[in-house]
Amino acid sequence: MAMIAVVGAASYEGRQMLLSLSDRGLPYVGFADHGSDVDAKIEHVDLTDAKALRAAFDRRDVTDVIHLPERGTVAKSLKDPLDAFERTLCPLMACLRAAAEGTPERFVFSSTASVYGTPENIPVPETAALRPISPLGAATAAAERMVGEVCRGQNMPSAILRYFNAAGADPDGRAGEADAPKHLITAAVRIAIGRRKGPLIIYGNDYNTPDGTPIRDYVHVADVADAHIDAVEYLRGGGSSVVLNCGYGEGASVQDVIQSVERVTGKPLEVRVEGRREGDPAQLIADTASIRSILGWRPRYNDLDLIIRTAIDWEKKHGTHGDDAS
């Protein structure tokens, strides 16, 4: 029986991946570092230990791997570049070694649009040059190269999915972002419902965009999960190795997000404008033609208000007050 392993299953994206796999009735197992999770559906293993991972893969007869790196932030990577490289590359090296020497036959890597840096064309196609402008982006680009080289050498079909800004929470309220917010929507939502002290900081309102604030392609986390599972199915069907963007092909500015939060909550959101941050491009919007044609991926939650509503519902139901209020 084909078995999918989700490596990094305790993460925001990983939890949603397990739910989406369960919803589709596909056999799966989640792996996370020891002590990082108490979910009975997730097995604990040292993700930097190739031998331990291989043993886990072999024990569960894993045929397909979805690898989810521990995702940091651009800001943190600028303060500690080495940490970004260690967290991105060390577990990946172990996972690739375990996959190459063990039972897995196919490999899916969860990448991000940070590899593009400041692209010349918007929407940005997969053929665009990789010119990361942050250590996080550089580490992710290096990870992509590693996946491509290793999987090619092992004749192991692979899919690399560059998702843009995963956001929102499980539509049925079963999972959401539990850690400190890594991007605008989570921070805005927590401030709006009183879980985090305001104001919401806007880093720059003088970009070359219609309202002066940066534009991003926000994609619902459940659609991101579906895309990764579709990639597994594509490779199982004999598809060749591929690199694909995962986004909606539509952009929302910081101001658009603020207005959406205010619209959904029915009250104003306190904001404060500060200077631009290093590592922030003006726009990042995906060209999605390839993922739609190759995988047949059809997003189900392409609506900014809906994305924000699911995040708010999750926070109200599951949030722990005071965990990130500083």
Tens-place pLDDT, residues 252-298: 999 999 999 999 999 999 999 999 999 899 999 999 999 999 999 99
Q: Mean pLDDT over residues 23-34, rounded?
A: 94
Partners of 161 in the β-ladder: 110, 244
The tokens describing 108, both together, are 């899916």
Is residue 37 predicted with pLDDT exceeding 60?
no
Distance CA 255, CA 186 (A): 15
Query: 265, exposed or middle or buried, with CB in 10 Å at 0-12, 13-18, 19+?
Result: middle
- Mean of per-residue pLDDT scores for the chain: 94
**Count of C-beta atoms within a 10 Å radius of residue 86:** 14
| Domain extent listing, the chain | 4-318
Q: Which residue has the higher pLDDT, 326 or 93?
A: 93
Contact 229, 28 (CB under 8 A): no
* Phi, psi (rounded to 5 degrees) for 291: -65, -35
Distance CA 170, CA 176 (A): 6
Q: Mean pLDDT over residues 163-170, rounded?
A: 96
Percentage of residues in the chain with pLDDT exceeding 90? 90
Confidence label for 36 from pLDDT (cuts 50, 70 and 90): low
Distance CA 31, CA 268 (A): 41
Cα dihedral across residues 96, 89, 216, 208: positive or negative: negative
75-84, 91-100, 175-184, 234-243: least confidently modelled range? 175-184
Is residue 117 predicted with pLDDT exceeding 70?
yes
Phi-psi category of residue 253: left, alpha or beta, with phi > 0 → left and psi -120 to 50 → alpha: beta
Q: Mean pLDDT over residues 239-254, rounded?
A: 98
Query: 116, exposed or middle or buried, with CB in 10 Å at 0-12, 13-18, 19+?
Result: buried
Q: Mean pLDDT over residues 125-146, rounded?
A: 97
Provide the pLDDT for residue 38.
54
Distance CA 297, CA 105 (A): 22
Is residue 323 predicted with pLDDT exceeding 70?
no
- The answer, yes or no, to whether the previous bond of 171 is cis (omega within 30 of 0) is no
Provide the pLDDT for residue 319.
64
Cα dihedral across residues 97, 102, 107, 110: positive or negative: negative
Confidence label for 41 from pLDDT (cuts 50, 70 and 90): confident
Confidence label for 325 from pLDDT (cuts 50, 70 and 90): very low
Confidence label for 71 from pLDDT (cuts 50, 70 and 90): confident
Provide the pLDDT for residue 35.
55
Contact 76, 29 (CB under 8 A): no
CATH topology of domain 4-318: Rossmann fold (3.40.50)
pTM, full prediction: 0.95
Distance CA 15, CA 150 (A): 27
